[in-house]
Amino acid sequence: MKRMVIVGLALLVLALPLMAAHAFVGPEKCKMCHKVEYTSWQATKHAKAWNSLKPAEQSDAKCMGCHSTNLPAMTGVSCEACHGAGGDYWKMSVMKDQKLAIQNGLVIPTKEVCEKCHNKKSPTFKGFDFEKSKGLVHDVKKK
């Protein structure tokens, strides 16, 4: 019980800056319009990132930040871990205008976004190639 309280407090502290900016809505909201991406994401290491941690690592702040999305609500690395909290951009009325969506919190992932987790601080880091890795997160619709 004491451990859970400590974990909860650590997560709250980590999430405060994010909560102040935009609310997290969860991948189910994204799925409403992005079925192809959602379905392919489910089979990825990102979706299963939380489950790859040992129980002790699941309470380690150094691990939680990269193996979860806005804990404690969402385990695994879902849409908003890379694209930003969607509370203000997930609706179609905003998403149909990319500039407006970005103004409302949408992040277009760059190498720098990915390298916040895929870096030498990770104990399992084996190098990172952004161009090769882009297609591993989810299928991308052809425009």
User: DSSP readout, 16-82?
Assistant: HHHHHH-----HHHHHTT-HHHHHHHTTSTTTTTGGGS-TTGGG-HHHHHHHEETTTTEES--HHHH
- Which CATH number do you get for residue 69? 1.10.1130.10
Domain, as residue range, for 8: 2-137
Q: Is residue 71 part of a domain?
A: yes
Q: Is residue 142 part of a domain?
A: no
Q: What is the tens place of the pLDDT at every residue in 88-123? A: 999 999 999 999 999 999 999 999 999 999 999 999
pLDDT at residue 75, rounded to an integer: 80
Q: Is residue 29 part of a domain?
A: yes
Type of residue found at 29 = K
Residue in the structure block whose two tokens are 């959602």? 38
Q: What is the tens place of the pLDDT at every residue in 47-101? A: 999 999 999 998 888 898 899 998 665 788 999 999 999 999 999 999 999 999 9
